[in-house]
Chains A and B, each alone.
Chain A
């Protein structure tokens, strides 16, 4: 308990010593802010700590060693589908297809949540993730920076390599956080906050029967196609899906 307090004290002190200080712990400090989400809501994000990289295969392996009910084959079917950790050589061994420092993927939302919970952490909300991801190397909100946006879209257009590269792959943003773009898609706590409208914009009655009061995704900034892709991805997910290029990272409240 005291050890933890000292650790967090040190981490936060390190983060606060200068504007450009990068965290030596595994957590970056994200300050609070306001942003407009793609379905039109303006939200306030409180300051929080975010893991500097996505959770790795090695970290997740350690978790499954301590929690057998999250090993492939022993997990409840309800909480993960057949592709769960399918890129690992065995339920207890990574193998060549799962480099230890590559982001773990093929993990369901339930598995990601369980991992964060046992680290006294949680998944980021969609707003928290988008807010952290708005930052470039130098600027807190780089979403209107067309060069930065082009860079992100260019990454999104590349096929997913196999095996995945190690974390700290793309760029380290203002808060010392890596890989929010250009490595893997990432689970958020409220992925099912996104409701995708029907394919036909004219099909209003279809939408009204399926969803009450849901705004169409993409209304906030029609030029932010990268964001549209992320939201569309989230809207297509089911919680037990295990997908080859979908991983996660955890966050902690600042307290």
Chain B
């Protein structure tokens, strides 16, 4: 005997079944590590390149106390240096050198470059200290991100960038002077080594890293 399915009932059941199995909209996949995605899910963003420093996926806190990850800057060229805010004599010169780079960029490029400094002295460079420093120096207003994090992560970041440092005396550090330019994928494009260098090469690197058209790249 044939089964007769009431057409309206069938339609309701069918519609419910469809709704129940619908995929949720694919999340903006924040992960940039080589990933194993769940069966059926589609990554919205491809993984970063094998030499991108964004594979060092550890948390930092910025001068506003917000948790940040370096991979958030993916899509923009980045100028990155490691500093500490208590040094009186030489450290602010790295910041001065970054300011020189920034000032030498075209207006268009300047607007697309993210400036980031990470403290090698997380014990003294608390969020509050970074907030005060960012305000005193005008860096926060200019859009710089000032970061602090766990000592192990600071050592890892230095290792990835090729920066050397160690405590020297009760509140100072011996450290190398390196300003790193990252491309939009977080790969090191150029490093300016030594204080007081002419910014020419860093500027040239940054100018080539911004898109030349206004179209969105993936």
Contact = CB atoms under 8 A, between A and B. Distances in A.
B165 A213 contact: no
B51 A212 contact: no
Interface in A82-109: 109
Interface string A61-77: 00000000100000011
A255 B162 CA distance: 33
A155 interface: no
A190 interface: yes
Most buried by B among A113, A189, A192, A239: A192
A106 to B, nearest CB: 18
Nearest to B94: A212
Contacts of A235: 164
B200 interface: no
Given A76-B50, A192-B163, A239-B159, A213 B90 contact: yes
A189 B155 contact: yes
Interface string A206-225: 00111111110000000000
Contact of B196 (A209, A215, A238): A209
Contact of A78 (B52, B163, B164, B173): B52
B46 to A, nearest CB: 15
B177 interface: yes
Contacts of B159: 109-110, 192, 238-239
A212 B160 contact: no
Contacts of B52: 78
A127 to B, nearest CB: 10
Nearest to A195: B164
Interface string B157-199: 0111011111110001111110000000000000001111000
Contacts of A79: 55
A195 B195 contact: no
A78 B160 contact: yes
B160 A214 contact: no
B174 A212 contact: yes
Contacts of B89: 212
A212 B87 CA distance: 10
A235 B165 CA distance: 11
Contact of B174 (A77, A78, A195, A238): A195
Contacts of A77: 50-51
Contacts of A109: 159
A41 interface: yes
Contacts of B172: 213
B175 A78 contact: no
Nearest to A215: B174
A192 B174 contact: no
A212 B175 CA distance: 5
A190 B55 contact: no
Contacts of A189: 155
Given A189-B155, A209-B194, A209-B196, A214 B163 contact: no
A21 interface: no
Contact of B55 (A76, A194, A238): A76
A114 to B, nearest CB: 11
Interface in B69-83: none
B34 interface: yes
A211 B155 contact: no
B60 to A, nearest CB: 18
Given A190-B166, A193-B165, A213 B174 contact: yes
What are the 4 A-B residue pairs with the smallest beta carbon separation, nearest first? Answer: A77-B50, A193-B166, A239-B159, A214-B174
Interface of A: 39, 41, 69, 76-79, 109-110, 113, 189-190, 192-195, 208-215, 235, 238-239
22 contacts: A39-B166, A69-B34, A76-B34, A76-B55, A77-B50, A77-B51, A78-B55, A78-B56, A110-B156, A113-B156, A193-B165, A193-B166, A194-B164, A195-B175, A208-B90, A208-B195, A209-B177, A209-B195, A211-B164, A212-B177, A213-B90, A214-B176
Interface of B: 34, 50-53, 55-56, 87, 89-91, 155-156, 158-160, 162-168, 172-177, 193-196
Given A208-B90, A212-B175, 16 more contacts: A76-B34, A77-B51, A78-B53, A192-B155, A192-B163, A194-B166, A208-B195, A209-B196, A211-B164, A211-B176, A213-B172, A213-B175, A235-B164, A238-B159, A239-B160, A239-B162
